[in-house]
Structure 1
Amino acid sequence: MFGITPSARLRPSPFYEATVKEGVTNFTTYNHMLMPTAFGKPEEEYWRLINGVSQWDVAVERQVQLKGPDAGRLAQILSPRDLSKQKVGQGKYVPLCNHQGILINDPICLKLADDLYWLSIADSNIWFWAAAIAAERGLNVEVSEPDVSPMAIQGPKAEDVVAHVCGDWVRELKYFWFRETEIQGIPVVVQRSGWSKQGGFEIYLRDATKGTALWNIFREAGASWGIGPGGPNWCERVESGLISYGGDTDSTTNPYEVRMGKYVDLQVPDDTVGIYALRRIAAEGPKRHSLGIILDAGEPVKPGFLWNPIFKEGRKVGDLTNCVFSYRLQKNIGFALIDSACVIGDAVQAQVAGVMQPGKLTDLPFL
């Protein structure tokens, strides 16, 4: 059994004590914080997400706040997705790229006011990047990390739970739209979003001292619907075809290689970071693409640390970026970041935990 050495480099979330009380068994590190990943009953946690409602501590989805007269301009410079028509109260999924068109994050961009934006980021230090770009462009904007920590309520019964706590107005929220409100005096932002395809909401806590209180409000309110703890579920997200930045991408991946091309608008202003490279990549076509793979192995495989090489006719053609046993398909499945010449239906072999496993490429999502 391993312990965790306390450090200023590794922060607990405002929901840490609540998740410990719930019986958390596994953490990972993400944005210099601890994120609960399991509570000791993986299949039960999976089916709760698929059929009921699951409560997640995702405070590690930190916010990069852009505030000031040039906040909107900076948001657009950072993102190759057109934000010119984004409204207050609307979130948009955006790829962030470096000057070479390489994906460096894939946040949700929330517009809280004309002069206030949040980038709800995946795992990387976008604060430094955003602040550097703002400074070199001479923009009048402050880049900071606000006191904001998301908690997710996910699953087909999530809407009933959140409506019970917040009111039926949440049922009218469109995907990625949000509203600022209070829950028993606790300031929050409620957004229809979350890293699953089962539906749900993210509750952005705006006072870190109220983490346990907010957790318990939803835990108690959700009891009638069988709410229980969980976390971003590896099996469900692979079945649903959800890309994990940093997990399914490497230091050379561009948005077109991982099914994010539809979020790139090539007509955005020329001062958008990476747009020249993205226009070139779009014209030439990506050299790799992301497909699904179904392995022939009958028993659940133990993939260990990924990535693992994929071969076709003895030649390495890509990498297996994740692998999991699907409870619904009863098969071992994963993502292949693979040569664009490889197509759906191709027979390949993936090296998993030192063993060559035959399989077939397929479309995404699996379900």
Structure 2
Amino acid sequence: MTTFSIAKSRRVRSTPYTSRIEKQGVTAYTVYNHMLLPAAFGSLEDSYHHLKEHVQIWDVAGERQVEITGKDSAKLVQLMTCRDLSKSKDGRCYYCPIIDDQAGLINDPVVLRINQNKWWISIADSDVILFAKGLAIGNKFDVLIKEPNVDIIAVQGPKSFKLMEKIFGVEITKLKFFGFDYFDFKGVKHLIAQSGWSKQGGYEIYVENTKSGLELYDHLFDLGKEFNVKPGCPNLIERIESALLSYGNDMDNNDNPYECGFDKFINLDSDVVFLGKEKLKQIKKDGIKKKLMGVQLDIKSLSLTSSLDIKNDKDEIIGELRSACYSPYFDKVIGIAMMKKPFWDVSLPVKIEVNSNICTGNICDLPFI
């Protein structure tokens, strides 16, 4: 496969850690929120096994923040999401689908409640800040909206807990999942959450002080040697096996939260006001016509750069494959697909054309593992 370089510029920004990861052997980038996001350090499969056994340090500065402050900040954040945040608490993270007036997904961020009048929206790959500003202007909300200087370092993998305890002490191990607090590193406070885009456990360090963050980045590798620490990045294999959905890949603005399996994050019976509420009520009443499901294919490799039609034995198009990879666990290709109703039966035989060849497989539930 021919490879091409990415031209860096103000539109495709480097991160504070870019020079370090390039020395550490990054082999591929993608672009995420107009910023470079490492996509590989050599073999995806080797990195997958390492992530599941040891600890990795990820440059995920592309996971940008939209900071909303002011007396109407809670009202604006709630207007954007179908999840009821009226009982949210300081120091907690909340997974919150953001939708438009027609219930189409805009983003699926993690929302951090710093306090009642200050929120960080830790976004997936879309321009949420413009959406937020438009709503604030249209509703004459008293808020300030900006992208703060926050560059996340993720520490992921089963040994992440021991590594972080070695640096920050036993208190950090007391953080609950999706909880956050401030922890001191050589006189600088860093917001750290127990979170991350893997199911292997770990933390995300929201670096506001770049100088301290770079020192911490290096320190993680120095102290992590005994835990077999390596540089890494969100791993395609691990995230598909775990059904960690990717906005722009598995779902986009043409899909609604019910179709993506976000039922538990949809609160229609509460009194909170949010965009698309009436539309979601109608969707719930009528039922959905498509939904995300898993697919297992009887092949050993597949490089997917666009959706592929999924057909049944009658050659009818019954869905589309949106993400896929080879899974060492299943020893076959697995993927995430949007399937049309009524083709939702687990074990339903399917076929897909790959490089002019027909491969067979079956539908399954998510997650795979």
TM-score by structure 2 length?
0.96
Residue 51 of structure 1: how far off its partner (Å)? 0.9
Task: Evaluate the alpha carbon distance shift between residue 270 and residue 183 of structure 1 in structure 2; reply closer, same or farther with a 3 A threshold.
Answer: closer
Residue 161 of structure 1: how far off its partner (Å)? 0.9
Once residues 306 and 55 of structure 1 are traced to their aligned partners in structure 2, the CA distance between those partners, rounded to angstroms, is 29
Mapped contact 1:270–1:276 kept (Cα < 8 A): no
Residue 110 of structure 1: how far off its partner (Å)? 0.2
Mapped contact 1:302–1:353 kept (Cα < 8 A): no
Task: Evaluate the alpha carbon distance shift between residue 261 and residue 352 of structure 1 in structure 2; reply closer, same or farther with a 3 A threshold.
Answer: farther
Secondary structure of 1:180 counterpart: strand
Mapped contact 2:304–2:323 kept (Cα < 8 A): no
Q: Does 1:331 align with 2:332?
A: yes
Mapped contact 1:54–1:154 kept (Cα < 8 A): yes
Quote the residue 1:233 is aligned against: 235
Percent identical across equivalent pairs?
36
Q: Please tell me the root mean square deviation across aligned C-alpha atoms, in Å.
A: 1.4
Higher mean C-alpha displacement, 109-118 vs 344-353: 344-353
Quote the residue 2:304 is aligned against: 304
Give the AA of the match of 2:257: P
Matched residue count: 365
Secondary structure of 2:258 counterpart: helix
Quote the residue 1:121 is aligned against: 123
Q: Which of residues 272, 277, 300 is equivalent to 1:275?
A: 277
Residue 211 of structure 1: how far off its partner (Å)? 4.0
Q: Deviations over 1:93-112 (max 9, x none)?
A: 00000110001100000001
Secondary structure of 2:255 counterpart: coil
Quote the residue 1:259 is aligned against: 261
Residue 280 of structure 1: how far off its partner (Å)? 1.1
Quote the residue 2:101 is aligned against: 99
Mapped contact 2:99–2:107 kept (Cα < 8 A): yes
Quote the residue 1:360 is aligned against: 362
Residue 217 of structure 1: how far off its partner (Å)? 1.4
Give the AA of the match of 1:323: A
> Which structure 2 residues correspond to residues 23-172 of structure 1 after superposition, within 5 A?
23-172=25-174
Quote the residue 1:213 is aligned against: 215
Once residues 78 and 27 of structure 2 are traced to their aligned partners in structure 1, the CA distance between those partners, rounded to angstroms, is 40
Q: Any stretches of 5+ residues in structure 1 without a counterpart? A: none
Higher mean C-alpha displacement, 270-279 vs 188-197: 270-279
- Which consecutive aligned stretches of 4+ in structure 1 deviate over 4 angstroms post-superposition? none
Residue 270 of structure 1: how far off its partner (Å)? 6.1
Secondary structure of 2:339 counterpart: strand
Once residues 194 and 20 of structure 1 are traced to their aligned partners in structure 2, the CA distance between those partners, rounded to angstroms, is 22
Residue 26 of structure 1: how far off its partner (Å)? 0.6
Task: Evaluate the alpha carbon distance shift between residue 339 and residue 17 of structure 1 in structure 2; reply closer, same or farther with a 3 A threshold.
Answer: same
Task: Evaluate the alpha carbon distance shift between residue 14 and residue 354 of structure 1 in structure 2; reply closer, same or farther with a 3 A threshold.
Answer: farther
Higher mean C-alpha displacement, 191-200 vs 214-223: 214-223
Once residues 347 and 232 of structure 1 are traced to their aligned partners in structure 2, the CA distance between those partners, rounded to angstroms, is 31
Residue 306 of structure 1: how far off its partner (Å)? 2.2
Give the AA of the match of 1:132: G
